[in-house]
Amino acid sequence: MDKLQKPLKDSVIYEDQHLYACLAKYPVTKGHTIVALKKVISDLRKLPDREYDYLMDTVFAVRNALLKTLKVKKVYLLYMDEAEHVHWHLIPRYKEKGFDLFQHKPKSLKEFSLAAKIKKNLVFE
């Protein structure tokens, strides 16, 4: 992978020069969010500690905003590196637990007003 796809503008929850957080284009559950580095790095192990800490601080801040906005008790953090690009999936848990979430057939997200609501609850500590 030599070029990262840009998120849809209306789906963006947070963005800076290093990374972005946006609603997933094909969510597994309502509020499924992606936090992705802008720099193409194929594996989490290749990140310097400082960049890893920054990424995880952002992941945790977005997770907390999801918890508050969606009023759920749990948001799963999922890292898979098949895309050869460092990014996290933050998947809110509603009634189902564990891998049952992945029985859903994702559909293309067409309405992005949730992004603005999540953004209002985003706090970096």
Note whether residue 83 is domain-resident.
Answer: yes
Q: Cα–Cα distance between 16 and 104 in angstroms, integer? A: 31
Give the DSSP letter of residue 4: P
- The CATH number of whichever domain residue 48 belongs to comes to 3.30.428.10
pLDDT at 18 over 70: yes
pTM of structure: 0.90
Owner of token pair 């890893």: 52
CB contact at 8 A, 101 and 76: yes
Supply the range of the domain harboring residue 48: 9-120
What is the tally of structural domains in the chain? 1
Note whether residue 4 is domain-resident.
Answer: no
User: 57-71, pLDDT tens digit by residue?
Assistant: 999 999 999 999 999
User: 25-77, pLDDT tens digit by residue?
Assistant: 999 999 999 999 998 898 899 999 999 999 999 999 999 999 999 999 999 99
